[in-house]
Copies of this chain bind each other. A is one copy, B any other.
Amino acid sequence: MPRQKLRIIPLGGVGEIGRNMLVLELPDDIIVIDAGLSFPKQEMFGVDLVIPDISYLRERRNKVRGILITHGHEDHTGALPYVLHELKVPVYATRLTLGLVSVKLKESRMKHEAKLREVAPGQTVDLGKFKVQFFSVCHSIPDAAGLIIRTPVGVVVHSGDFKVEYTPVFGHPSEFAKLAELGAQGPLLLLSDSTYADLPGYTPSEKIVGETLDNVLGQAPGRVIVTTFSSLVSRVQQVIDGAARHGRYVSIVGRSMTETVRMARDLGYLQDPQNVLRTLDQIRGLPHEKVALVTTGSQGEPTSALVRIANRDHKQLHIIPGDTVVMSATPVPGNEALVNSTIDSLFRQGAKVLWDRVAMVHVHGHGSQEELKLLMNLVRPQFFVPVHGEYRHLSMHADLARSMGIPDDHIFIIEDGDVLELGPDSGKVVGKATAAPVYVNGVGVRGVRDVVLRDRKQLSQDGIVVVMLAMDKQHGALVGRPDIASRGFVDEQEHENREMLDQARDVVAKALSPDSPGKAEWAYVNARVKEVLARFFYERTRLRPMILPVLVEV
């Protein structure tokens, strides 16, 4: 690649662009921003999680100088165990982020070999010809960072995931003054978070949720159960503060929430000055109005504490009429049904439930349109590339940039794998890197291919019918009556269905009878059985089960 060019390549993610991983490349150096995972979509049957395809990095592994993590959320850190397995490069992040990364690497037994480097906001790291300075931004997890990246081509600003917050629960407001100074120097490029580029106005402050929580903790007649994301440390802080004000003790329920809280306290990101945190055992016997519980389960995850409580499945806790449950989160798209049925179960057992449709119990961590415009106005970049969003978000973010006066040919909407090459005065997409998301299912990085998913989809719809044929090895003739077994197709307890499956055996036998041609060839037999049975079953049931003929030669 030419000396005075910078390449920008988003990799990975399901639908979302550049959030899980973004690559910046100079002729001799590569830096990687974030290494996160996505959760599978509905049609990705059986897939546990989705990670970026790092073929592009693998082929240039000697150039990769390091991985910069902007904050500690899964969609920015979750692929690290997989990526570090192949690329033994240092990981740079702020303190809490690195704490969360350590926990994750320890679970994957990779902590001892990982090179983790703590970076304070304001500090600069030299990575080949890249000089990267971290700066504080506000997001729904403390210690989130944006990046100022100095390159021979010009200065790149990466927003990270951010919102504008002048009164954060923990830490500093976003460092706008620094960006304004930088803006005066004419930076080359702004890469900016597009998650909520479709929402007009400003995102409300986290303090608003604090007010709701304070009211509930003050006025609820019984126990208050707050459920949120385990990483939302500032929300937990607000519960602790509110509980302390209103004479309640707080107990953390659930393994992941307990671990995060312990780590955040150890690193100083969570304070309990009035010492209200208690174990579940310690709060047993307290009057209900003295108790608050914090738990995960805000997404209706079947194994979470809240869902087990809602389903009367939890060993230590169940709902007592008079409990107030605060769902302090918004369902991630796709989780709506699980969340709703959890709320229904809680109501059925006599709880009062507050969720995002009925009360101000959650604000998200991404800027709305006015905040995105503020950032552009401060940075005044020559080029603009929206990242962290699905196509419609990038498209609307690009519209915002146009409305702010950035010329059309200085705005690039790129998708995963697009190789954008930027010079001091112009840019264009020069190629396509391998970037199909990698499906993780089962052990290791054993990718699941589309053919496997297609089979699973067909199996999930109308099940499978296995046809067993015994073939005389010597004469190539069918021996005995074909047998049939089915799973997930029709209810075999019903007489008419059993009868149909029995008739199907005759249908096969007839199709393969001696007067049918070419009987000896397995390819022919296989195709013929599939054809006649598919037609027979479709006519009878309008279903299309997978048909699997199997041969035993005797």
Tell me whether B449 and A540 are in contact (CB under 8 A): no
Name the residue on B nearest A539 (C-beta).
B443
Tell me whether A451 and B392 are in contact (CB under 8 A): no
Q: What count of chain A residues pass the 8 Å CB interface test?
A: 72
Tell me whether A336 and B334 are in contact (CB under 8 A): yes
Q: Is A509 an interface position by the 8 A CB rule?
A: no
Question: Complex: how many Å from CA A242 to CA B457?
Answer: 44
Name the residue on B nearest A339 (C-beta).
B333
Tell me whether A552 and B42 are in contact (CB under 8 A): no
Tell me whether A487 and B464 are in contact (CB under 8 A): yes
Name the residue on B nearest A399 (C-beta).
B352
Interface segment among A83-91, A131-139, A275-283, A541-549: the answer is: A541-549
Residues in B neighbouring A458, C-beta threshold 8 A: 488
Given A451-B491, A463-B456, A336 contacting B337 (CB threshold 8 A): no
Interface segment among A184-192, A291-299, A315-323, A340-348: the answer is: A340-348
A391: contacting residue among B348, B455, B461, B494, CB under 8 A: B348
Residues in B neighbouring A41, C-beta threshold 8 A: 337
Query: Shortest Cβ distance from A399 into chain B, in angstroms?
Result: 9
Digitize A529-554: 1 where CB-to-B-CB distance is under 8 Å, 0 elsewhere.
00000000000111100101011111
Q: Is A447 an interface position by the 8 A CB rule?
A: yes
Q: Is A446 an interface position by the 8 A CB rule?
A: yes
Given A357-B199, A449-B491, A15 contacting B341 (CB threshold 8 A): yes
Name the residue on B nearest A45 (C-beta).
B460
Which residues between 446 and 471 of chain A lie within 8 Å of chain B, taking CB atoms? 446-449, 451-453, 455-464, 466, 468, 470
Tell me whether A460 and B463 are in contact (CB under 8 A): no
A-side interface mostly:
mixed
Tell me whether B470 and A459 are in contact (CB under 8 A): no
Question: Complex: how many Å from CA A552 to CA B505?
Answer: 14
Which residues between 68 and 115 of chain A lie within 8 Å of chain B, taking CB atoms? none
Q: Is A490 an interface position by the 8 A CB rule?
A: yes
Query: Shortest Cβ distance from A324 into chain B, in angstroms?
Result: 13
Tell me whether B452 and A491 are in contact (CB under 8 A): yes
Q: Which of the listed residues A45, A392, A457, A491 has the most CB atoms from chain B within 10 Å of its own CB?
A: A392
A396: contacting residue among B199, B358, B449, B553, CB under 8 A: B358
Tell me whether B541 and A491 are in contact (CB under 8 A): no
Residues in B neighbouring A198, C-beta threshold 8 A: 357-358
- Could you name 16 residue pairs across A and B whose Cβ atoms are closer than 8 Å? A15-B341, A46-B460, A347-B395, A348-B391, A442-B541, A446-B541, A447-B491, A451-B491, A455-B487, A456-B459, A456-B461, A460-B460, A466-B466, A468-B550, A483-B550, A487-B546
The 9 closest A-B pairs by CB, nearest first: A460-B460, A455-B488, A459-B459, A344-B391, A456-B488, A442-B541, A46-B461, A347-B395, A554-B554
* Extra inter-chain contacts (8) besides given A347-B395, A348-B391, A449-B493, CB under 8 Å: A15-B341, A45-B461, A198-B358, A344-B391, A451-B491, A453-B488, A459-B463, A552-B552
